[in-house]
Structure formats: C-alpha cells, structure tokens
C-alpha cells in the first residue's frame, strides 16, 4: 500500500510525539518542514535544541530512530536550519 504524503506526515508527527516531551524538558522542540518525493523527512530543531552541542546525537539516536522505527516507508531524516 502506498501512503499519501499527508498520511506519512501524520505518522511522522505521531512518532515525534513520543520523543517531543524529552525535547520540551530542555526547552526545545521539533517541526516537520517537508517530506520529499524520495520520502526524506526534513525537520527543524527549535528552541534550545537549535544549535545545542548535543543536537547531532539527538537527531541520530532520538529523532531519526523514532521516525524510521514507526514509519518504515521513510528513507532518511535530515535536520535543516
């Protein structure tokens, strides 16, 4: 079954809701900017997460894993400014 971009976005947002409380504790958040035609999710770290020295680890170990585990149709996750 091929999902629409809107269905993918809903599932991506649901996966982010599982880690969002951890970001919010430190004064941060995350937003989905785009899902490309290649199913790459582009996200933007917000608040204290933007520019945090630990943001690369947060992206790899938290955000990327949460999305890829919950939405296997996604091929990659990228942080943008």
pLDDT digits (tens, 9 = 90+) for 34-75: 999 999 999 999 999 888 888 988 888 899 999 999 999 999
CATH number at residue 30: 3.30.300.130
Q: pTM above the 0.95 mark?
A: no
| Total domain count, the chain | 1
In angstroms, the CA 81 to CA 68 distance is: 21
Q: What is the side-by-side strand order in the sheet with 40-47?
A: 28-35, 40-47, 76-79
Question: pLDDT tier at 1 (50, 70, 90 boundaries)?
Answer: low
Residue ranges making up the domain that contains 31: 5-79
The long-range contacts involving 45-51, CB below 8 angstroms and separated by at least 24 positions, are 45/79, 47/23, 49/23, 50/81
């Amino acid at each position: 079954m091929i999902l629409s971009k809107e269905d993918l976005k809903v599932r991506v947002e649901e996966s982010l809701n599982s880690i969002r409380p951890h970001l919010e504790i430190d004064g941060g958040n995350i937003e989905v900017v785009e899902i490309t035609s290649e199913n790459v999710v582009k996200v933007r770290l917000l608040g204290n997460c933007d520019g945090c020295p630990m943001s690369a680890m947060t992206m790899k170990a938290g955000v990327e894993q949460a999305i890829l585990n919950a939405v296997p149709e996604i091929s990659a996750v990228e942080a943008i400014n």
